[in-house]
Structure 1
Amino acid sequence: MIHSLPEPIRQAIESGRAPSPPQVLLRLLQMVDDDGATMAELARLVEQDAGLCTRVLTAANSPAIRRGNPMCSIENCLQALGTRLVRSLATCLSVQSLFDERTATRVVDLSAFWTHSLLTAELSRILAASSGYPRPDEAYLAGLLHDVGQLILLSALGEPYLQILVACPSEAALSVMESERLGVHHGEIGTWLADQWQLDSALADGILFHHLPGEQILTAAQLPQVVWLAHALTRCAEVPDALRDLAEQMFGQACSKGLTVLRAQAEERMGVLAEAIGITRPDPAAFDDTTGLPRVLGVRTAAEPDAQGQIAAIIGSLALMQPLQQDLFALQSDAEVLLALREAARILFDLNHLAFLLCDPHDARLSGKGIAGQPSIFGQVSIVPETHRSLAVAALLSNRICSSYDRTPPPTHSLMDIQFARALSSSGLLCLPMVGGSRTLGVIVVGLSAGQHSRLSRRLSCLTNFGRTAGLSLDKWRAARTAREQMSEEAAARFTRQARRTVHEAGNPLTIIKGYLRILDGKLPPGAGVHHELAVLGEEIERVARIVQRMSEVPAVGADDETVDIGDLLGELLLLCRAALFDSKGIAIETLVPTQAIRIACDRDAIKQILVNLWKNASEALSRGQRLKISLTSDILHRGRHYAELRIEDNGPGMSEAVISALHRPADAPIGASRGIGLSIVGALTQRLGIPVICRSTAACGTMIVLLLPIREPAGQQDNSDTRPR
């Protein structure tokens, strides 16, 4: 049982990286730029490479990305990350593979390692499916990562681990030699990492137990047994009887008899994948006890494999951080930029504990106020730009990296630095200035141990470039935001000028129409009976003129002292609209309106617009022979205020919930249907006027909409007992 790793090994693997085959990185770079590539295709590619899997799992399960339960599916992880971050991941790993300083002095061939891992993964998936394990994809991931500890140790320790590989006589002996010389074996390293990622414990157990004796694995759960059997099948060209007996005890006779067929299927699938990523397919007859181990070939030379050269050609003249900068520039807010920087720092430098302090543009104070995803202490401080205050200020003023482990000059100690280190669960700090152009925009505060700092010190130039990229990206994004705001203001000004010209031009024909109406009214005899109708038309033209006038103005609520007789307004609108909207379509109208005046405290034109939209919606929805009822009462008390209730009911087809929801949408965001557009206008106006709206609709039974219109006087001062149809 594993409780903890030896401290030297733990510190070493904190910065260890699982290298990825350059062929996979090359293909991934091509796929993320292919609009036709799907997430499922990306997931299948990433699943071929344990190194990429570790990075995708780490990024997707980080606190900044993960929402809810840990993610074990590579496809789900990629969906959570998005193509932008996946592109950054692939590009950064590609650049890193070219520019990282190598501590090892010998060339290591990992092709056998990759084919062994792919074959174990394929066998694990097939065995899981055939034995009834409910999550075959999880079994595939466990099989792919079962030897990932070897890559971590190779990357973290370099030459000392290479010496173990050279001296190792067989794969079975590797775990023993690792335990004797390092105090831990690669299965424990992989399990520790799986625990750090908070993956399912059964998956981690599959990594931990894959080298145990057969009689012992019989006492394990199903997933570790699946991985163990898959791993065992990769170590022999023919399936021995002893392995068949163990398989029968674990999964039954049917599984044990089909092992040869299952292995053939897995080999065929693995061969296709190996060829797709440019790895030589091994001869199954050549499988022996050393199959799957990284092979030390000789002294490292300056020559690079062809695939590395292809990646270099893709990246071309881009600097180490330029692809990251391009991605950052496409983001939409400071928060997104900082989140991307946090994940990039994790991917590039394994910096898992960091926070941001940004400069106030007025007094240059440093503060993390308003920045999510970091300890609260950073949002509580506002640090005066004086060197002795903090390492962060020292980095800000000097424009260079400062850390708790600097020796010349001696580091400055402050209580604030102690607080920052405690908040980041570390023994010390590294402060990286974010320089944008000619000014420093802030500081990245990293929590790290002395061992981490020692290893990171070899990459200070890259880290400095990262700080510059961070500052330039933030500076350019802010400049772009300012430019967009300026363009928006200029566009709004142009629209206003155009609207004013339109208002001026529209005013001329409206004035002419009003003049002709007055002439017509004067020519008609006093008893002609249409003078009232002409007056209503004149009033409506005035309302159109006011609506046009408001095209170049911000709409305002009517004056508080304006009151409208809602009963008279209903009569006027019905006189104007009834024939066109209802009578011509055979829709019956019933009205119940008090004879006593009910004066509401609302803008007259806005109420007209609300009623016309509601009636027009009803007219379009109702069929010949159906009915619309309009009723008005004034004795409503709602939340301590008096209202008149205007109720509009029909017996039509009803409205869907989606259409009704338009009452709560802005007028410039309609849902598509014509009734939805009208209701969105009604919703915007009623919200502006403070008019509560109630809506009830039942399919095939009709719709009821109630408007509560505020009135000036208490209902008790009005006599509306005489209610009769109009």
Structure 2
Amino acid sequence: MHRLPEVVREFVATGRIPSPPEVLVHLMRAMEDEASSIADLAQIVSQDPGLTSRILSVANSPALRRTKELTTIEDCLTSLGIRLVRALVTCLSIQRLFDKDNQLSSAEVADFWCHSLLVGELARAIAEQADLKNPDDAYLSGLLHDIGELILLRAIGDPYRQFLANVSANPSLAAQEAQLFGTTHGDVAAWLIAHWGLNSVLGDGIAFHHARASEIGTATALPQVVWLAQALTVLQEDSAEYGPLIDCTALSIDQAALAATRARAVERTRQIAEAMGIAVATEFPQRAIQQVPATSAPVMALSPADSELSVMVGGMALLQPLQQDLLQLGNVKEVLLALRESARILFELPSMAILLVDASGAVLTGDGVDDQPSLFRQLSIPLAPAGCLAAAAVADRQVSASFVSTQPLALLDRQLVRALSAEGLLCIPMVARQRTVGVILCGLSSLQYAGLQRRSPWLSHFGKIAALSLDVVLVAEQQRQLAEEERNQQFTRHARQIVHEAGNPLGIIKSYLKILERKLPEDGVRQELGILTEEIDRVAAIVGKMADDQVQHAASQSIDLAGVLSDFLALYADPLFKQKGIRVEKQVPTVEILASVGCDSFKQIVLNLWKNASEALGAGELVKIALIDGVVHGGTHYAQLRIDDTGPGISEEKIRTLYEPAAVSSTQTRGLGLSLVGRLAKQEGILITCRSQPGTGTCIELLVPKFIPESALT
């Protein structure tokens, strides 16, 4: 990739792709309609390159991305949630309204939109004809293939507009793009894909859509698909050139089918544009890039006072919807993410960090704020005295920047600039209701700062909105925490009362069993009474833990799994299984198998699993219980406890509770067994797997860590 010129790199970093206002209005209406589903919103978003690029960028950001990359718009919207999406769309709408120096006309945005949508539709249809595995990837690459054009238009302006107009008349001039501007729109778009952390294959489909016909056949399938889709847009409907184009690729596509595909894609694009209220140019499906006008109508300049008043009043009015959206967000993490993306959209600030005031109210810190350089998580900046630009901005309650500071930057400020990979620092204080919440730190260049000076009142008002939104959420979280502490205290008081009341009868029963044990002959009954006494002790211990302010988990110990299972079978096999007509097959070795787990925890796990099986099975059905020694997994030695049954099976939702503890209501008394098993297994280092199908039974396997004597470790 060519090195991006500085002015282009700044616009690329913001990832700002304008959307037609008609699309934004359509999406805003859909979000206000309670009948709209995520799929409905995804359909609207996926028709616009600007919205698609923004949603992809945010959903795949480090703050939100947990596992694999998200490349479908529906998955992205599900990950973000409607509230955050609404805040982003509001910002895009506001930015469009107050951006007075936009380099793009409405006609140019509409032309770009129609062309991009057509290439996306064509790419998906071609991918389906060629039997590619992921036609949606082809659509995404096709939709975004020309986003570099809009970035270069905003960064360079009229010279690039003139270049596009000339290329529209003479396509052979496209090879001069890199020579004239130091990069190509394909490279710029591919850089964005890489910047978002998405698969490089998507970027390849975008980067090579203007490759030479003699070269494209050696590329992978996706670049070939997007290249062919782009090439079809410049041909006439009944063109005889379809065959030679297909021959340039290695795709298996029928020429007649491709002509029909093109006609359907053009008609579908027209229908979508009509539904959105966007005018389609008469030249469509070919591009209609306009020449640079020879003269421009003079613009009447406002007086300095009128200009400042317009900025202040207009900014506050336009930012009001954003404040309403932010106040609807549910937690601090959501608000911080929305603030970061809002600032990026509204003010084109690609590099930023957020510091919050700690509980003492005297220190700024980034600890606990995700998705920013590690330096900010280590910071602890005293607010008084104001020894750096960030603290001074908070103390003065004014937006401040390193570019206008009369004093040399403090060493800490220079560290912050380096951490943000920028030329200078902009600090936006977050102060509301006489309470200091924090500060937004933005890394930017002198060129970017010059463009922001006129928006200084908006920056200040944005800081106040940020403070108010965060303050509301922080106060709500503090109230929830206090309420939770009060509930815990009430639970502890009630639990102590229960322990006291339950302890007396349990003690009496235990004493009676000891008397009974002495009266009986020394046979199997006395052994079973001993096991029953141990179970009473375990129940008493479980009840006793209820009264602990903080549950203390007993340290893992060495227990004999075979002995515990044999005792449990002697005590529980009859009441749980045999009395219900459930057949039991057991394979428990008579030799000692030592494991390094807590005895009580292991017993609770086994009892809950057996109880679940007992409740699920009917007369004549079978449960198998097997203990196997000598299992090695990942270099660690385990014993395997396997429980198979021929019952009705377990639903996927219930199986998930083994790994994700379910929320428990205050009145819930059933369905907690698997969740408890999962929690205890995780606590004891027991690996658990479950296989189940409706009507065929369930198999649960526990890998219990073996006890390794210290002598064996040395």
Same topology, TM > 0.5? yes
- Which letter does structure 1 place at the counterpart of 2:451? R
The aligned residue for residue 171 of structure 1 is 168
Q: Deviations over 1:461-515 (max 9, x none)?
A: 222222222222222111001111222344455666777899999999x89x99x
Aligned pair in 2 of structure 1 residues 447, 129: CA closer, same or farther (>3 Å)? Answer: same
> Does 2:180 correspond to 1:183?
yes
Corresponding letter in the other structure for 1:427: E
- Does 2:477 align with 1:478? no
The correspondence for 2:434, drawn from 417, 433, 438, is 438
Q: For residue 25 of structure 1, report the CA deviation from its aligned partner.
A: 0.8
Contact 1:622/1:653, CA 8 A, preserved across alignment: no
Question: Deviation per CA, 1:621-673, whole angstroms, max 9, x where unpaired?
Answer: 58579999999xxxxxxxxxxxxxxx999997599899999899989969xx9
Aligned ranges 1:451-466 → 2 under 5 Å: 451-466=447-462
Which one has a bigger Cα radius of gyration?
1
- Per the alignment, do residues 454 and 606 of structure 1 end up closer, same or farther by CA in structure 2, a change over 3 Å counting? closer
Letter in 2 for 1:118: L
Question: How far apart are the structure 2 equivalents of 1:181 and 1:539?
Answer: 81
Residue 487 of structure 1: aligned partner = 483
What pairs with 1:161-560 in structure 2 (closer than 5 Å)? 164=162, 168=165, 171-173=168-170, 183-184=180-181, 188-198=184-194, 199=200, 200-209=202-211, 222-223=224-225, 225-233=227-235, 236=236, 238-241=237-240, 243-244=241-242, 246-251=244-249, 255-282=254-281, 291=288, 293=290, 320=319, 322-323=321-322, 326-327=325-326, 330-332=329-331, 334-362=332-360, 364-386=362-384, 389-406=387-404, 410-492=406-488
- The whole-number CA distance in structure 1 between the counterparts of 2:252 and 2:600 is 84
* 1:697 to partner: Cα distance: 12
User: For residues 480 and 247 of structure 1, do their structure 2 counterparts lie closer, same or farther at Cα, with a shift above 3 Å needed?
Assistant: same
2: CA distance, partners of 1:611 / 1:289: 70
- Identity, % of aligned positions: 37
CA offset digits 1:539-596 (Å, max 9, x no partner): 9999999999987776988999xxxxxxxx9999999999866785578999x9x9xx
Asked if the contact 1:19/1:155 (under 8 Å) is kept, the reply is no
Distance 1:39 1:497, change over 3 A: same
**Shift of the alpha carbon at 1:127?**
3.6
Native 8 Å contact 1:145 1:207 kept in 2: no
Letter in 2 for 1:183: L
Normalised by the length of structure 1, the TM-score is 0.67
Q: Secondary structure, in 3 states, of the residue corresponding to 1:405? A: helix
Q: Secondary structure at the match of 1:274?
A: helix
Q: 1:100–1:156: structure 2 CA closer, same or farther, 3 Å change rule? A: same
Which residue of 1 is the match for residue 50 of structure 2?
Answer: 51
* Shift of residue 274, structure 1, vs aligned partner: 0.9
Aligned AA (1:447): G
Relative to structure 1, the CA distance from residue 316 to residue 5 in structure 2 (aligned partners, 3 Å threshold; closer, same or farther) is: closer
d(CA) in 1 for partners of 2:701, 2:134:
51
CA distance in 2 between counterparts of 1:95 and 1:489 reads 42
Separation in structure 2 between the aligned mates of residue 253 and residue 558 of structure 1, nearest angstrom: 63
Question: Are the structure 2 counterparts of residues 225 and 390 from structure 1 closer, same or farther at C-alpha, using a change threshold of 3 Å?
Answer: same
Q: Is the 8 A contact 1:435 1:442 kept in 2?
A: yes
Q: Residue 178 of structure 1 contacts residue 184 of structure 1 at CA under 8 Å; is this kept in 2?
A: no
State which drifts further: 619-628 or 429-438.
619-628
Q: Which 5+ residue runs of structure 1 have no aligned equivalent?
A: 303-314, 522-531, 561-568, 595-602, 632-646, 711-726
The residue matched to 1:183 in structure 2 has which SS?
helix
Partner of residue 20, structure 2: 21
Distance between the aligned counterparts of 2:29 and 2:42, measured in 1?
14
Distance 1:345 1:403 in 2: 16
Q: State the Cα distance separating 1:93 from its structure 2 match.
A: 0.7
Give, as a single letter, the amino acid of the residue that structure 2 aligns with 1:202: D
Alpha-carbon deviation of 1:450? 1.0
Q: Is residue 391–residue 417 contact of structure 1 (8 Å, CA) maintained in 2?
A: yes
Q: Give the conservation status (yes or no) of the 8 Å contact 2:281–2:288.
A: no
Matched residues in 1 for 2:373 and 2:49: separation? 32
Q: Contact 2:144–2:189 at 8 Å: present in 1 too?
A: no
C-alpha displacement of 1:291: 2.8
Tell me, yes or no, if the aligned pair for 1:341 and 1:470 is still in contact at 8 Å: yes
What SS does the corresponding residue of 1:119 show, helix, strand or coil? helix
- Separation (CA, whole Å) in 1 of partners of 2:544 and 2:430: 50
The 8 Å contact of residues 23 and 48 in structure 2, kept in 1 or not, is answered as: yes
> 2:120 corresponds to which letter in structure 1?
A
| Partner residue, 2:711 | none
Distance in 2 of aligned mates of 1:61 and 1:250:
35
- Per-residue deviation at 1:183? 2.7
The 8 Å contact of residues 356 and 365 in structure 2, kept in 1 or not, is answered as: yes
Distance 1:622-1:357 versus aligned 2 partners, 3 A rule: same
- Match of 1:598? none
Q: Which amino acid aligns with 1:46?
A: V
Aligned residues: 663
Alpha-carbon distance between aligned partners in 1 of 2:39 and 2:277, rounded to the nearest angstrom: 21
Please tell me the residue identity of whatever aligns with 2:266: E
